[in-house]
Amino acid sequence: MSYRVTFVCTGNICRSPMAESVFRHHAEEEGLDVEVDSSGTGGWHAGDGADSRTVAALRRAGYRSAHVARQFEPEWFDRYDLILALDEGHLAELRGMAPDGEAAAKVRLLREFDPSAGADLDVPDPYYGGRGDFDQVLGMVEAAMPGLLDEVRAALEARDARTP
């Protein structure tokens, strides 16, 4: 069974689809058995594609993007092994909708996986900014990837060790 990861931001058109694309790219390069997607805490962009500035930042960096926004649903906690919030507000909202402690423990901040992140683990929302803001967010997402990939590899190895 694949390890399932989802990224969650506010409207699911900027940060979380960016993180989804970057993680998918690296996981595919490594041949990891993962399923990856993303969603938002709000549903006002459901059905929309990723913000054009997100898509442009991804393309400039060599990533591809195909995305349709959706809202995270509380019943999805059972579906995922790891739920990655893009900022403290998303973290609190997701943990607040978790049905129990085990589900809440699946929710973590993406920048927890970046050892150089320091104390501020929020990925800022670039929506009201320009190209530089989207590029900055992409840099933060990319900086978290080595640690996130280590975490997922370890989880897959532990799962394989338990499987007869």
Annotated catalytic, 33?
Answer: no
Annotated catalytic, 15?
Answer: yes
Residues whose CB falls within 8 Å of the CB of residue 163, separated by 6 or more in sequence, listed in order: none
Query: In the chain, at which residue ranges do the beta strands (DSSP E only) sit?
Result: 3-9, 34-40, 82-85, 107-109
Annotated catalytic, 9?
Answer: yes
Structural domains of the chain, with CATH: 3-162 (3.40.50.2300)
Compute the average pLDDT of residues 105-119.
Answer: 97
Q: Cα–Cα distance between 154 and 156 in angstroms, integer?
A: 5
Of 19, 8, 17, nearest to 68 by C-alpha is 17
Q: Which of 48, 81, 125, 133 is catalytic?
A: 125
Q: Which of 15, 24, 53, 108 is catalytic?
A: 15
pLDDT of residue 1: 86
Binned at pLDDT 50, 70 and 90, residue 162 comes out as confident
Q: Which of 9, 14, 37, 51 is catalytic?
A: 9
Binned at pLDDT 50, 70 and 90, residue 21 comes out as very high
pLDDT of residue 50: 97
pLDDT of residue 53: 98
